[in-house]
Amino acid sequence: MDGTAPELNGLNGAAYPPARRGWLLVTVLVAAYAVSFVDRQILSLLVDDLHRGLHVDDAHIGLLQGPAFGVFYAVLGMPCGWLADRVSRVRLIATGLLLWTVMTALGGLAPDFWTLFATRMGVGVGEAALVPAAVSLLADTFPRERRVLPLAVFTGGVSLGTGLALALGGGLVAFARGGAGDLPLIGGWLAAQTPWQAVLVMAGSLGIPLAFIMLLFREPPRQGLHPGDAPQVSLFAWLGQNRRLFLAMFGGAAMLYIFSNAFSAWLPSLFIRGFGWGPAQVGAALGLPIAGIAVSGNFLGGGIATLLARRGHANATAMTMALGALVMVPVAILGPLAGDAATARAAAIGVYFAIALCFGVATASFVAVTPAALRGQVVALYLLIGNLFGMGLGPPAVGLLLDRFFQDPARVGTALAIVGGITVTSGAALLLLALRRHAARAAAMPA
């Protein structure tokens, strides 16, 4: 996409793409990742509308926000990681992007709970292709010494998407209730739908152009991989040889995923039920600040890891990930219990900063200790474990606590604090345990 000269040669002699093209790719992938989180998180602003429209309780909402999307997203991550190590990653991402955006829009046509449940599974199927393919793609686009920051910026799409889901979602809710009928061509049809249905249709349209833009990029050569390497490397043999390292890394990430998914799914309800806010107010007050502070956390995490690496720390990414987890501990436990809206808002922003600081370098942390032939599969396995635990347990745990234990829908903050206290402390401890082994393994890896 540009004429600048290629950069350093990779381990297999192939040139890395020009830096300008690499950062254009990062920009498009960040946009795709942000759209993916808008599409998966948009339901968090529609909880009360779904209660009324589909006649469901909080336990059902937890299923829609967690397992409906998360099980297929997690389970299909491994096949997508396998594909990412073997087929065109550019085409794989474009195909997944088109699928999940269409399924989001189809959710707006759902007449009942189970139809919406099925469309959310479709969103999970499409999104499963993005991260394994994108991480593998970026690892072959930037040299090792420049790789951490692009991966951290890409992961910043999570934070950007979460903030946009609130800001844009709140705006879409307000627009669906008052101005959708003014749109050309489809305005009359949208105005005839319930607000939550119109919001899903509009949110689902965001990513379709990105799928076609993605196809404009060329597939880069795979770096650090010689002909015949892939069949000689066994994923589970590699994991078995380094089981103590990967058990701690996978386990720590999974615990943090539980809280981060629960927090994202129920944050709007914390303010709507606890402080009497409306969805548009939640989006306006939280969306852009969360996006801004979280993206800052991603950049800071990438900068810290780069600085630590220059000072000789082979486990720089793992150290930064553990730092983010430690910062998360107090805000995850105390933040949801805040007694006023201003303090709760500040704590929520702090939670997303810590999440970004931790997870911004997570994929780079796994790449640093994984052979080139297994990168897509290891990242996919990390996502499989993290999302099975995170989406499978996080949102449903809060819903069950509210419905079955507290029997009080207003106690969202207490439920989040309980989930955070159990998961974030154990996750931080596991990541700290992994540091020494991560340093030894990363130091032994080729460039």
Instruction: Report pLDDT digits (tens) over 69-80.
Output: 878 888 887 788
Q: d(Cα 113, Cα 56) in Å, to the nearest integer?
A: 8
Instruction: Report pLDDT digits (tens) over 155-202.
Output: 777 767 778 778 877 777 777 766 666 666 666 777 677 888 888 888
Instruction: Report pLDDT digits (tens) over 27-39.
Output: 999 889 888 888 8
Share of residues in the chain with pLDDT > 70 (%): 91
Amino acid residing at 257: Y
Residue 224 is assigned to a structural domain of this protein: no
Instruction: Report pLDDT digits (tens) over 272-305.
Output: 998 999 888 888 899 889 888 888 888 898 889 9
Structure tokens at 424: 């974030």
Residue 9 has pLDDT above 60, yes or no: no
Residue 411 is assigned to a structural domain of this protein: yes
Residue 12 is assigned to a structural domain of this protein: no
- 3 state SS of 324: helix
Which of 348, 324, 342, 328 is CA-nearest to residue 412?
348
Instruction: Please enumerate in sequence order all residues whose Cβ is within 8 A of that of 237, keeping only pairs 6 or more positions apart, or say none.
Output: none
The predicted pLDDT at position 184 comes to 64
> Among the ranges 61-65, 117-121, 141-145, 157-161, which has the highest mean pLDDT value?
117-121
Mean model confidence pLDDT for the chain: 85
Amino acid residing at 196: W
Residue 152 has pLDDT above 50, yes or no: yes
Place of tokens 């999970």: 124
The 3-class secondary structure across 175-214, one letter per residue, is: HHHHCHHHCCCCHHHHHCCCHHHHHHHHHHCCCHHHHHHH
- Mean pLDDT across 30-53: 84
Residue 327 is assigned to a structural domain of this protein: yes
Residue 266 is assigned to a structural domain of this protein: yes
Residue 322 has pLDDT above 50, yes or no: yes
Instruction: Report pLDDT digits (tens) over 373-418.
Output: 787 788 878 888 988 898 888 888 998 899 888 888 889 999 999 9
Which of 442, 403, 131 is CA-nearest to residue 269?
403
Residue 48 is assigned to a structural domain of this protein: yes
Structural domains counted in the chain:
1
The CATH number that applies at residue 141 is: 1.20.1250.20
Please state at what angle helix 375-400 crosses helix 58-65, rounded to 10 degrees: 170
The predicted pLDDT at position 64 comes to 86
Residue 226 has pLDDT above 80, yes or no: no
Residue 229 is assigned to a structural domain of this protein: no
Residue 228 is assigned to a structural domain of this protein: no
Note every long-range contact of 231-236, with CB atoms under 8 Å and residues 24 or more positions apart, other chains counting: 233/371, 233/373, 233/374, 235/374, 235/377, 235/378, 235/381
Residue ranges making up the domain that contains 111: 19-216+236-444
Which of 376, 335, 341, 370 is CA-nearest to residue 355?
335
312: phi > 0 → left, psi -120 to 50 → alpha, else beta; which? left
- Mean pLDDT across 354-358: 91
Q: d(Cα 388, Cα 383) in Å, to the nearest integer?
A: 8
Let me know if 51 is exposed, middle or buried by CB neighbors in 10 A (0-12, 13-18, 19+): middle
